Copies of this chain bind each other. A is one copy, B any other.
Amino acid sequence: MLHIALLGFGVVGSGTAEVILQNQKQVAAYCGDEVNVKYILDLRDFPEHPLGDRVVHDIQVILDDPEVVLVAEMMGGAHPAYEFTSAALKAGKHVVTSNKEVVATFGAQLLDLAREHHVSYLFEASVGGGIPIIRPMQTDLASNEILSVSGILNGTTNFILTKMKNEGAAFADMLKLAQQKGYAEANPTADVEGLDAARKIVILAALAFGKLLDPNKISTTGITGITEEHTALADKLGGAIKLIAHTEKIDGRVLALVSPFLVLPTNPICHVDDVYNGILVGTNMLGRALFYGAGAGKLPTASAVVADILDILSGRSTDRRLPHWQVAGADDVADVASLSCRRVYVFEGCPRCEAKAKTALASEDSVWLCDGKFAVISAKMTATDADAAIQTTGLCPILSLPVLD
């Protein structure tokens, strides 16, 4: 019998218990032994739940029990989740987590701590919900150099943008709908302002490049400024506006950002709709690979937590294979101004203005919209160069977005 403890019995915690109970036979076959949820740490009691008798309110009970070999932390929030994780690792217990805030903020220290105590610290569920992405990046793509990661990492905003595009609806109305459907929280700031996606891209950037950036310091733009006019415009250009989290290395420095992008239909991310997430990894041998699925939700996220539990309990994962992350210094971080990509601009004006803008932006794509407006897609350039180019035309863009193609 392999004994584990769950920290937090909210949505993901109770889902994890459900996955283990429902797929019990399979779990036991995989680990070569039965898995038993010995403790559940929560402030509340759950007298009606079949595992209600496992509930404890003091972390010390779990830390002191040598039978508990693994702790699954699904509390959310940085504290006390970070302190409990540290204590569990120091007590020689493996830890798996769905808590992106803890991984994005303290991941480097916690991985060091895990190595020091010869246990594992896994976090597949912290990015992309149930979508396999962390482990594939570490194993299947190990033969590749990772060049970039671009993804839709937040299902709430993807739902809102998809609805805005398909129904010509306003942001505020679709946010309300997302709240009614339970996709968005009463306070939706972390989702719609991009902070949730920022935490996740910081984790993927650390996996790709070994440097952990501060999620609060990367360039983060949400979708509150996107109007139904913008989504309709993207549709006319054959693409879609998506909230993209992106990371790549520029001159040896790590760039990570979150921003609305115009995604062209040649990029498979363009077709990732509704609450789904999609993560495109660019590599030097395989080319581009897309991982797509449910980026949130009780059972999908729990399924990733349990995959990590199985990885450890079956003996596949050892501390020797944990990634080495360094906390990024100022010299490790690229400024968002150094991002070179195609960009879409919307201007108001005459055909001569259009010709001028196309020349200035070295553009091969432009399209006329209604009311004397036109859109121009620039050649690959930095925002600074594009701004300078536009200044020479005397035109003033009424919309500008980077393009993912």
Contact = CB atoms under 8 A, between A and B. Distances in A.
A132 B143 contact: no
A171 interface: no
Given A23-B285, A293-B288, A132 B140 contact: yes
A3 interface: no
A290 B289 contact: no
A304 B283 CA distance: 12
A317 to B, nearest CB: 8
Contacts of A27: 143
A304 B291 CA distance: 16
A151 to B, nearest CB: 13
Contacts of A286: 130-131, 293-294, 299-300, 303-304
Interface string A13-51: 000000110110011001010000000000000000000
Interface string A272-310: 100010000001111111111110010110111011011
Contact of A131 (B289, B297, B303): B289
Interface residues of A, number: 52
Copies in the complex: 2
A141 interface: yes
A395 to B, nearest CB: 35
A321 interface: yes
Interface majority SS (helix, strand, loop, mixed), chain A: mixed
Of A135, A283, A316, the most chain B CB neighbours within 10 A belong to A316
B292 A289 contact: yes
3 residue pairs, one from A and one from B, having the closest CB atoms: A132-B140, A143-B306, A289-B293
Contact of A310 (B143, B291, B293): B143
A145 interface: yes
Interface of A: 19-20, 22-23, 26-27, 30, 32, 124, 130-132, 135-136, 139-145, 268, 271-272, 276, 283-294, 297, 299-300, 302-304, 306-307, 309-311, 314, 316, 320-321
A372 to B, nearest CB: 32
Contacts of A144: 19, 23, 303
Contacts of A314: 321
A289 B291 CA distance: 7
A130 B26 contact: no
Contacts of A293: 286-290
Contacts of A304: 140, 143, 286
A135 B139 contact: yes
Contacts of A294: 286-289
A206 B306 CA distance: 23
B140 A26 contact: no
A288 B288 CA distance: 20
Given A132-B136, A132-B289, A136-B132, A145 B300 contact: no
Given A271-B268, A302-B285, A307 B142 contact: yes
A289 B288 CA distance: 17
Given A136-B140, A293-B288, A283 B303 contact: yes
